[in-house]
Amino acid sequence: MLLVTTRTSKRWIIPKGWPIKGLKPAKSAAREAFEEAGVRGRVAMKSIGLFNYDKLLAENGIPVNCEVRVFPLLVKRQSEAWPEFEQRRIQWVEPARAVALIKEPGLKKLVAAFAKKIAVAASKTVP
């Protein structure tokens, strides 16, 4: 799984962002993944779930509760540089390590459930 750091607190999260006018939510998520981590691939049109967190707005420091719908992206390629390359760190990790690194409770729970679902699906395809 691919994790990125937030720009300010440097916590580990998944790529995510605000909706982009004119794009369906899944396509908006795919664009954010490129901007934050330089990845491109095939995005699922169906969300795997959602979580809430409080985001501090830079302009005034006031927390705003955000609801995030998560769309998995099957990464086909990763660029050498991307729009937020110098603002974030990225790390490819095993699912269990991703769960350990993520501090946001809602995101941690969602990633753990998705990792379990993938592991079950993978075990069914192995003879």
- Determine which helix (DSSP H) or strand (DSSP E) holds 51, and give its type and residue range: strand 49-56
| pTM for the whole structure | 0.88
User: Is residue 127 situated within a structural domain?
Assistant: no
3-state secondary structure of 88: coil
Instruction: Look at phi and psi of residue 107 and say left if phi exceeds 0, alpha if psi is from -120 to 50, else beta.
Output: alpha
Question: Of 25-34, 53-62, 82-91, where does mean pLDDT reach its minimum?
Answer: 53-62
Mean predicted confidence (pLDDT) in 22-46: 97
% pLDDT > 90, the chain:
79
Q: Residue 12: what pLDDT?
A: 98
User: Is residue 43 situated within a structural domain?
Assistant: yes
Which residues constitute the domain of residue 86? 2-121
User: Is residue 40 situated within a structural domain?
Assistant: yes
User: Is residue 72 situated within a structural domain?
Assistant: yes
Mean predicted confidence (pLDDT) in 41-48: 96
Q: Residue 55: what pLDDT?
A: 84
CATH number at residue 10: 3.90.79.10
Confidence of residue 127 (pLDDT cuts 50, 70, 90): low
User: Is residue 126 situated within a structural domain?
Assistant: no
**Residue 7 and residue 35 in contact, taking contact as beta carbons nearer than 8 Å:** no
Q: Residue 123: what pLDDT?
A: 83
Confidence of residue 122 (pLDDT cuts 50, 70, 90): confident
User: Is residue 100 situated within a structural domain?
Assistant: yes
User: Is residue 15 situated within a structural domain?
Assistant: yes
| Number of domains the chain contains | 1
Q: Say yes or no to pLDDT of 126 above 70.
A: no
